[in-house]
Amino acid sequence: MPRAPKLASFPAIRGALTFYQICSIITGVGLLLLVAEMILKYTPLHIELFAGGSGGFLWFAPVIAGADCLWWSLFLPATNSCEMISTGDGFNISLFILVAHGWFYVVYLFACFRIWSLMRWPFLRFITLALGGVVPLLSFFMEARVAREVRRYLAEREAQAAAAASESPTVPASEGTR
């Protein structure tokens, strides 16, 4: 029989669920931005987004493939020394998206761990939660599913506890102190 969360941990579970939902949305949006950035940079477009600098408020700067790059080398980065050279000046928004998503994914993993451990789910469930931060669009589906399941579980358990409390006979305080 799987271990069930204690009734006393339900407020913490609700807080962890809210934290998970916020992290899931932020991570999902960041991942979609990251996918868009990778498409812009590593397809034949070879551009990056910059803010400020010589191009104005927001502008795209070309990215030049290094001399060692072949047409297939961007798909196998470990097999060669292909380097992409950025030509823009100003704040590199493409690089910021990469770094921000990477660091926020760590926060997302903590949120996944917190809800997973409080709900006492099997380890495979943690893995599926964690995949939400690396598979585009999955975090949105996981967030909706997890929120629905956790809220339903908490409501059912609280209803069972209330029913059990109303069925059990109560002893008046004066009789129980002898």
The answer, yes or no, to whether residue 10 has pLDDT greater than 70, is yes
Q: By residue range, what is the domain housing residue 89?
A: 7-162
Residue 99 covered by a domain = yes
- pLDDT tens digits along 104-118: 999 999 999 999 999
The answer, yes or no, to whether residue 178 has pLDDT greater than 50, is no
d(CA 17, CA 154): 11
Residue 2 covered by a domain = no
Span 162-166, average pLDDT: 90
The answer, yes or no, to whether residue 28 has pLDDT greater than 90, is yes
Closest-CA residue to 14 (of 102, 119, 108, 93): 119
Residue 171 covered by a domain = no
Name the strand (E) or helix (H) holding 86.
strand 84-86
Span 113-131, average pLDDT: 97
Domain count across the chain = 1
pTM value is 0.85
pLDDT of residue 3: 84
